[in-house]
Structure 1
Amino acid sequence: MALVREFIEDYRGKISHFQHLAEVCAYQCESTLKRQGLRVLVTSRAKRLDSLASKVEDRAQEKNYQSIEEIYQDIVDLAGVRIALFFPQDGREVDQFIRSTFHVESIKDFPEALGDPLGYPKHFLGYVGRHYRIYMKPESLPPEERHLANHVIEVQVGTVLMHAWAEVEHDLVYKSTGGFLSQDEYAILDELNALMYEGEMALERLQTAVKSRINAEQHPFSNHYELSSYLHDQKRRVLPGPGCRFSIGRTDVLFQFLRRIGLNSVPGLRPVLQHCRFEAHAAPLSQQIVDRLLLDDPNLYTEYDQARMAVGAFDPFGTPFEAQSVFSEEGGLGPFMRSWINLEESMGEELYRILRGESASFVADPHAAEQLRSAKRLRDQILFGCQPPDPEELEQAEQSLSAMMDFLKEQEAEHSLRQQA
């Protein structure tokens, strides 16, 4: 066991690295999921030395490790993140988030087989959850931390009740007794597991009751969690399949925006949703809602800016940019946004037809159409992103938008002259 002891000492010196790795991943999970209005508890940990030593000693007899590197490659949960769901049905949304945010190496669903510990036949399934082995994407990390993308992380997803039961079983069965309990003890654990299943069924009924109330009420949404619940219901109604990759997007800023303009309710939001595209490659639903409202009334850009800054000022996951006005002169934000709004107001629906590659009465050559799509990406980064675009890129885009606006004015003047003639 000298190699195992050598590995444990090596890991002791690296445990802070794995703790940081898990914390960064947990931050990405918690910030996105809570902003999207999903009720979750996210925790992280580096594997404890005592737990790791016991695990490696057990596996060493089977694996016949020849080097420390082999052990590191074999143990995949040195950095772990746990996502505990309030409501079981939200697992589908979390699964979509994980698949779109990280590089997923493998997925393991529990339970596997019921098993028959010491002759005791289980009546219930035991722990139910889904474990992912993932790598963070380099582009999601700052340059100085992109090395973290080279390390595997285990992400466990289950309900808060199942995670609590799993902790009890794991500590009692495997840590305290080495896996040897009496049949009475196994029977009691089985009974507790049954209570967890009953609790999950109650949570599902509670979630259904909340959704029914939200859909039936004429009153405003109380918070962005209720707004998110309503939007997820609309998504599932249109796209019921489990494989859909259509995203709801961030709802905390949307909630504040809708509240400011008096549309923070089912009756207020329903007409806007009729213009949204529920498709796998469409923009997140929250962004589509904002786009539609701003297109219908460009004066609402100011209201959206105020809502965005109000959330950004107190968001524990926010960046300084998210508390900054999109009309700030800093970094060329203001001039670009004003030029974009002028063009959007002038072209209206025609602009979005061009952006989608559809036929439009305004004929844009391929170069102009690409310039518009590039400007739209910059505009979306300003309105919905956490970091500002490059100032030079903004300046060039603003000049292109101004030139297009001048061209439209010339076209309009020529059209007026022809009508007068």
Structure 2
Amino acid sequence: MEQVIRTTLDVQKDKHFPSKSDADGRKTGESEPDVPSGDGAQAASGAAAHRQRFSGYGARHFRVNIPESRLSAGQERYASALIEVQVASVLMHAWSEVEHDLVYKPLEGELSASEYALLDQLNGLVLAGEIALEQLQQAGDARLTAAETPFRNHYELAEFLRTRLSALGVDLTDATLGRIDVLFDYLAEQRSATASSVTPYLHRLEQDFERRPVAAQLADLMLSGNEARYKAFLSAMAASRNPTNRKRTTIASLETGSPGKLALGEFVTAWVLFENMLKDVAVFEEDRLPPLSTLLRQLRDRGLISPKQFTELEAMRELRNRVVHRGVGEVPPELLRDAAVVLRGLTKAIERKGGPS
């Protein structure tokens, strides 16, 4: 949540609650009520008489501005407004509302020591509830990781990825996760929507998720050099755009029918052959194949392709990403067929120069 706030808004200041306690037991980060006399003063004096056993209000507050780029035309004046965003659990918010109404808005005099003690006890229950919910989430994540239990939906897959990658210090947003829904549909169709099927690829991810989201990187690693997987993933992408046309994936379904499907099948076949050739001529350590952009530069630097061919392959790579991760859309069949011809020619030329490494 903090990552979302910091990437979406301009944070001017933030506070943790509770912070370190001062001498009189009140949390120094806690805001004082703006009631210097009357019932508020009585409440403050009564609170001082009861020393809390639990930490009280727990949350994170952010004082932010909305960037002008996120405001619609005519709303620019709001860019100077200072806004406070308060992030707390539902349990803590409910306790805070009760505590505020009783302590700072008493209807019939100051609360008794017993009532303050009850509020403190409720605070302890809320804190215990938050810990229990965190443990329940962790236990669920551990169960999915250790067992072959399939993810029930793409939300479970997304939460699994968030949890596993957070251990590496990575905070993921919906944007940096990418099309997890398409990835889940593909995995479910392949009967591989389990933690054990996804985990082997996690250590091979590059952490440039702003440029290449998690779902796109995982798909690239899973599909590399396998024509059947490519076509199953493309089917999942197409089904996500047209849910009413969802049907079981077959290779034949992408090779027959409209000219667009035939051209797409031809391009995918040529691309798979190109990827498999790269694995034979590339220089890399262990099982971690470098990113495609790195491999293309490597081919150029080794003299296996000319600068012109490098430019052509960069265009092919962009077309491949457009087709696989954004859907074939309005890509003309002629463009796909021409690209397939170019790819086949380049693949043969590189094979003749490079041969097995």
Task: State the TM bucket, normalised to the shorter chain.
Answer: 0.5 to 0.7
- Is the partner of 1:255 in helix, strand or coil? helix
Corresponding residue number in structure 1 for 2:205:
277
In the alignment, structure 1 residue 356 sits paired with structure 2 residue 294: yes
Q: In the TM superposition, what whole-angstrom CA distance separates every residue of 1:50-95 from its partner, at most 9, and x where no partner exists? A: xxxxxxxxxxxxxxxxxxxxxxxxxxxxxxxxxxxxxxxxxxxx22
Give the 3 Å change call, closer, same or farther, for CA 382–102 of structure 1 in structure 2.
farther
Corresponding residue number in structure 2 for 1:123:
53
- Is the partner of 2:87 in helix, strand or coil? strand
Q: In the TM superposition, what whole-angstrom CA distance separates every residue of 1:271-322 from its partner, at most 9, and x where no partner exists? A: 4445x225355733322111122223233334223433544557xxxxxxxx
Corresponding residue number in structure 2 for 1:222:
152
Give the 3 Å change call, closer, same or farther, for CA 183–128 of structure 1 in structure 2.
same
Aligned equivalents of 2:124, 2:242: Cα separation in 1: 44
- Is the partner of 2:56 in helix, strand or coil? coil
In the alignment, structure 1 residue 96 sits paired with structure 2 residue 3: yes
In the alignment, structure 1 residue 288 sits paired with structure 2 residue 208: no
**Aligned AA (1:223):** N
Aligned equivalents of 2:74, 2:270: Cα separation in 1: 42
Corresponding residue number in structure 2 for 1:234:
164
Give the 3 Å change call, closer, same or farther, for CA 384–125 of structure 1 in structure 2.
farther
Q: In the TM superposition, what whole-angstrom CA distance separates every residue of 1:304-356 from its partner, at most 9, and x where no partner exists? A: 23433544557xxxxxxxxxxx99xxxxx979966763553232063974413
Q: In the TM superposition, what whole-angstrom CA distance separates every residue of 1:371-401 from its partner, at most 9, and x where no partner exists? A: 655664565466545x999x69x89986984
Shift of 1:407: 4.4
Aligned equivalents of 2:328, 2:11: Cα separation in 1: 29
- Is the partner of 1:155 in helix, strand or coil? strand
2:190 to 257, 261, 268: 261
Corresponding residue number in structure 1 for 2:130:
200
Shift of 1:359: 1.7
TM-score, normalised via structure 1 length: 0.55
Give the 3 Å change call, closer, same or farther, for CA 253–395 of structure 1 in structure 2.
closer
Q: In the TM superposition, what whole-angstrom CA distance separates every residue of 1:238-265 from its partner, at most 9, and x where no partner exists? A: x2x4789995444332222100012112
Give the 3 Å change call, closer, same or farther, for CA 348–112 of structure 1 in structure 2.
same
- Is the partner of 1:348 in helix, strand or coil? helix
- Is the partner of 2:88 in helix, strand or coil? strand
**Kept in 1: contact 2:17–2:58 (CA 8 A):** yes
Corresponding residue number in structure 2 for 1:167:
97
**Kept in 2: contact 1:244–1:280 (CA 8 A):** no
- Is the partner of 1:263 in helix, strand or coil? coil
- Identify the structure with the greater helix proportion: 1
**Aligned AA (1:348):** E
- Is the partner of 1:107 in helix, strand or coil? strand
Aligned equivalents of 1:164, 1:377: Cα separation in 2: 50
**Aligned AA (2:275):** G
Structure 1: runs of 5+ lacking an equivalent: 1-93, 315-325, 328-332
**Aligned AA (2:189):** R
Q: Which moved more, 1:199-208 or 1:224-233?
A: 224-233
**Kept in 2: contact 1:339–1:401 (CA 8 A):** no
Give the 3 Å change call, closer, same or farther, for CA 306–97 of structure 1 in structure 2.
farther
**Kept in 2: contact 1:101–1:137 (CA 8 A):** no
**Aligned AA (2:232):** E
**Kept in 1: contact 2:15–2:60 (CA 8 A):** yes
Aligned equivalents of 2:312, 2:61: Cα separation in 1: 43
Structure 2: runs of 5+ lacking an equivalent: 28-43, 244-253, 280-289
TM-score, normalised via structure 2 length: 0.63
CA RMSD in angstroms, aligned pairs only = 4.7
Give the 3 Å change call, closer, same or farther, for CA 188–283 of structure 1 in structure 2.
same
**Aligned AA (1:260):** E
* Number of positions where the alignment pairs a residue of Structure 1 with one of Structure 2: 300
Shift of 1:224: 2.5
Shift of 1:195: 0.9
Corresponding residue number in structure 2 for 1:110:
17
2:66 to 135, 144, 149: 135
In the alignment, structure 1 residue 344 sits paired with structure 2 residue 271: yes
* 1:347-386 equivalence runs, <5 A: 347-348=274-275, 350=278, 353-356=291-294, 359-360=298-299, 363-364=304-305, 369=310, 372-373=313-314, 376=317, 379-380=320-321, 383-384=324-325
**Aligned AA (1:232):** R
Give the 3 Å change call, closer, same or farther, for CA 309–408 of structure 1 in structure 2.
closer
Shift of 1:113: 5.6
Give the 3 Å change call, closer, same or farther, for CA 363–202 of structure 1 in structure 2.
same
**Kept in 1: contact 2:58–2:92 (CA 8 A):** yes
Give the 3 Å change call, closer, same or farther, for CA 355–336 of structure 1 in structure 2.
farther
Shift of 1:233: 4.0
Shift of 1:126: 2.1
**Aligned AA (1:127):** Y
